[in-house]
Amino acid sequence: MKRVPHTESGFVLPTAIFLLVILAALAAYMVSLSRTSHISSALDIQGSRAYLAARAGIEWAAWQVIDPQGLQPSPAPCPAATTLVLEETLAAFSVDVSCTPFVETDGADTVAIYQITSTATSGQPGEVDFVERRIEAVFSQ
């Protein structure tokens, strides 16, 4: 009995290597997509926290100006530019608050107008985790 030479031997190996490379590339893409999704979600949460920190700065400055106890002269002076130190969940944020006063006369009435700017930042510019939110509010008393 004579053996017939197999001319197709070794054809499965290149196909298997090709499939392994394709599956490895697909797995790497899925890991990259998952990582991007997690980073995006984390930055969304940090963005919301930054907004709340900036809003806390606005509320702090408004409270300084409103003076519910009536201890300050009318119109109340703006608080000096301040960097707030927040605690707990918002402790990672630096909140810079500034206030610009305007006084308008409406007939016999004097109206104090306050423009408050609050900027909350976390991280360093250019870094992946850098977040900044700025809120401006104008109100009168």
Cis peptide before 101 (omega within 30 of 0): no
Q: Residue 94: beta bridge partners? A: 85, 121
Query: pLDDT confidence of 137, banded at 50, 70, 90?
Result: very high
* Residue 4 scores a pLDDT above 90: no
Percent share of the chain, pLDDT over 70: 87
Say what the pLDDT of residue 13 is. Answer: 84
Domain ranges of the chain: 12-140
CB 49 within 8 A of CB 87: no
CB 53 within 8 A of CB 120: yes
Alpha helices in 76-122 (DSSP H): none
Give the mean pLDDT of 111-123. Answer: 92
Give the mean pLDDT of 88-115. Answer: 88
Write the pLDDT tens digit of every residue in 60-99: 998 888 866 666 666 678 888 899 988 888 888 999 999 9
Say what the pLDDT of residue 98 is. Answer: 95
Q: Which long-range contacts (CB under 8 A, 24 or more apart) does 9-15 make?
A: none
Q: Is 40 helix (H, G, I), strand (E, B) or coil?
A: helix
To the question of pTM greater than 0.95 for the whole model, the response is no
